Amino acid sequence: MRHRRFFTVLAALALSAAMVLSVGAVSLEQVEVKAPVKNVILLIPDGMSTDVVTLARWYQGGGALNLDSMASGLVRTYSSDAPIADSAPAGTAMATGHKSHTGYVGVLPDVNSMPGLDPLEAGTARAPVASILEAARLEGKATGVIATSEIMHATPADFTAHYASRKDYDILSKQQVYQGVDVVLGAGSGYLAGQGRADGNDLIEVIQENYQYVTTPAGMEAVTSGKLWGMFAETALAYEFDRDPKSEPSLAQMTEKAIELLSQDEDGFFLMVEGSKIDWAAHANDPIGLISDCLAFDRAVGVALDFAKADGNTLVIAATDHGNSGVSIGSAATTGDYDKQPLSNFIDPLKKATLTGEGLEKVLNAERSNVVEVMSRYFGIDDLTDEEIEAIKNTENGSMNYTVGPMIARRADIGFTTGGHTGEDVTLYVYAPANISQLTGTVENTDIALYMAKAFGVDLDETTERLFVPARKAVEAIGGTISFDRSDKGNPILTISKGDVEVKMPVYTNIAYVNGEKTLLDGVTVFDGVGTNYVPQSAIDLLK
């Protein structure tokens, strides 16, 4: 009887605790906005599972990270039709408030099949949906995007482009260049120059007509006002541990410069910052890359927090788009004695490394005959097996993290379950100013977009209706005609006309030629790749 009473009391205490947590959570519907916030900074550490944060904290000595003070809840990361999300639909959810399908950037999926989702409205598959960046821009706010990957990679593209393939860099980057973003910092210049593009467009020339275009940290620092576009590598930037500060800025430096420029707009700003290569290190099961770029990301969070606290009217949110790799502090080797392993067992082998596997490629000689010396000097590994030496010698350039990362992980008893994404809930971090409630509890990834929209006082659905009108239906409804010229496949032209007014629009740009005279629309013209063109309402209005 005594045991039964004891367990009854425990059950009552557990129920009481659950009720307290439930009451304490502030859902999206319960968020109170006393007045719209002026600025929103969203930081996305792509693919950063919670164990990465713990590992990085221990690595730096156990002291608090900037993220720690912001922890407020959990985020569900599933996509429209799968429990484990790709970055494209995961970022789309955070940018637009809509779930989507693997590979889809800023557009609706073909189907909503996961439990709890409403069926997709007929005829809307792959339709573009507005991002919080676009909504902020239409409100007159300055906007910015930062990434350590190519800027046309999935996550930054989710906020600045619309197409049902994350792989089509030509289409995504073209939209980004004509999107009107005020500050763009990161990498990917090789995909912007004419010789690197199937459509033949030299987008760097277009950028230079509208931005201060820089390629070095010194050039970036010299810009003190106006629009800025910085490309610091042809492909992705280096991991922080491998970064040459003379040729590439840190994520924190780019964040600081973006805030400096964007905050000059009296209407406020929206800024998205991605620590892109945390995800890449997780795919490679590379703990050094994970720690390198998690700590770099946290320093960028610190920059955002410092500004927000001084400003008093800035909302800061940080959340990854999905988990990756099933990383754990502890591995199969510690199954029998996990509780007897000192912290040094996990951290000391990691502390010996001063480069990531990617950085290792630059210090190996052409014949890779110096593997033993290099691994000893830069990774503190003096017990390489013959198999490990051969594996390093035979690894293709660009894949060294996948070879060296697991070697270090085994020696540090860091576990991994997969080389792919994972479907667990991830941590939500929110710093809210006094005029808005902090979002807490377990939320959907779509709630992040809706929370930002609520904070700004904008409506994403209304923005979508303004920016993405099905062209044929709208033109024919007012008695006009429409044609679509794809003779130049990489540069299609949409033409709408009525009476003596003819409007030609190069698709994926914001340009319109009205009877031959150039004007700018308030959004980009989009083709869904299947059969529907979408144009801003401002394009239709040119015919009225």
Which pLDDT belongs to residue 24? 62
Q: Known binder of ligand: residue 541? A: no
CATH number of domain containing 518: 3.30.457.10
Mutual orientation of helices 445-456 and 460-467 as an angle, nearest 10°?
Answer: 90
Domain C-terminal end among 393, 415, 437: 415
Are both 149 and 234 inside the same structural domain?
yes
> Which domain range does residue 365 map to?
334-415
CATH number of domain containing 251: 3.40.720.10
Are both 384 and 455 inside the same structural domain?
no
Q: Is 326 left (phi over 0), alpha (psi -120 to 50) or beta?
A: left
Residue 265 lies in a domain: yes
Query: CB under 8 Å, gap of 24 or more: what pairs does 222-230 form?
Result: 223/257, 223/261, 224/260, 224/261, 225/261, 225/264, 226/261, 227/182, 227/183, 228/182, 228/183, 228/184, 228/185, 228/257, 228/258, 228/261, 229/183, 229/184, 229/185, 230/184, 230/185, 230/186, 230/254
Domain tally, the chain: 3
Are both 39 and 62 inside the same structural domain?
yes
Domain C-terminal end among 379, 400, 415: 415
Residue 340 lies in a domain: yes
Rg of the chain's alpha carbons, rounded to an integer? 25
CATH number of domain containing 386: 1.10.60
Q: Where are the beta strands (DSSP E) in 245-352?
A: 269-275, 314-319, 323-324, 328-329
- What residue type is assigned to position 40 of the chain? V
Residue 9 lies in a domain: no
Are both 425 and 356 inside the same structural domain?
no
Are both 368 and 432 inside the same structural domain?
no
Domain C-terminal end among 428, 447, 465: 465
Global model pTM greater than 0.85: yes
Q: Is residue 88 within 8 Å of residue 108, measured between CB atoms?
A: no
Are both 520 and 380 inside the same structural domain?
no
The tokens describing 365, both together, are: 């000689």
Cα–Cα separations (whole angstroms), residue 90 to 244, 279, 320, 416 = 31, 13, 9, 22
- What residue type is assigned to position 63 of the chain? G
Which pLDDT belongs to residue 212? 98
Q: Known binder of ligand: residue 153? A: yes
pLDDT tens for the chain, residues 1 to 544: 334 343 343 344 343 334 334 446 888 999 999 999 999 999 999 999 999 999 999 999 999 999 999 999 999 999 999 999 999 999 999 999 999 999 999 999 999 999 999 999 999 999 999 999 999 999 999 999 999 999 999 999 999 999 999 999 999 999 999 999 999 999 999 999 989 899 999 999 999 999 999 999 999 999 999 999 999 999 999 999 999 999 999 999 999 999 999 999 999 999 999 999 999 999 999 999 999 999 999 999 999 999 999 999 999 999 999 999 999 999 999 999 999 999 999 999 999 999 999 999 999 999 999 999 999 999 999 999 999 999 999 999 999 999 999 999 999 999 999 999 999 999 999 999 999 999 999 999 999 999 999 999 999 999 999 999 999 999 999 999 999 999 998 999 999 999 999 999 999 999 999 999 999 999 999 999 999 999 999 999 999 8
Q: Known binder of ligand: residue 101? A: no
Q: In the chain, count of helices (H) and strands (E)? A: 20, 22
Residue 153 lies in a domain: yes
Report the C-alpha dihedral over residues 512, 509, 206, 254, rounded to 10 degrees.
140
Q: Which residues make Cβ contacts (< 8 Å) with residue 151, sequence separation at least 6? A: 145, 157, 173, 176, 184, 186, 187, 188, 231
Are both 172 and 295 inside the same structural domain?
yes
Cα–Cα distance, 82 to 13 (Å, whole number): 36
Q: Known binder of ligand: residue 321? A: yes
Q: Is residue 46 within 8 Å of residue 37, measured between CB atoms?
A: no
Could you say which DSSP state residue 324 is in? E
Active-site hit among 80, 87, 250, 292: 87
Are both 405 and 428 inside the same structural domain?
no
Are both 308 and 238 inside the same structural domain?
yes
Q: Which residues make Cβ contacts (< 8 Å) with residue 106, sequence separation at least 6? A: 92, 95, 96, 128, 129, 131, 157, 158, 159, 160, 161, 162, 163
**CA angle, residues 452, 263, 252, in degrees to nearest 5:** 85
Are both 408 and 487 inside the same structural domain?
no
Q: Known binder of ligand: residue 383? A: no
Residue 6 lies in a domain: no
Q: Which residues make Cβ contacts (< 8 Å) with residue 382, sequence separation at least 6? A: 375, 376
Residue 17 lies in a domain: no
Q: Known binder of ligand: residue 421? A: yes
Are both 222 and 244 inside the same structural domain?
yes
Are both 263 and 127 inside the same structural domain?
yes
Cα–Cα distance, 366 to 357 (Å, whole number): 16
Which pLDDT belongs to residue 342? 98
Residue 26 lies in a domain: no
Residue 479 lies in a domain: yes
Q: Is residue 87 annotated as a catalytic residue, yes or no? A: yes
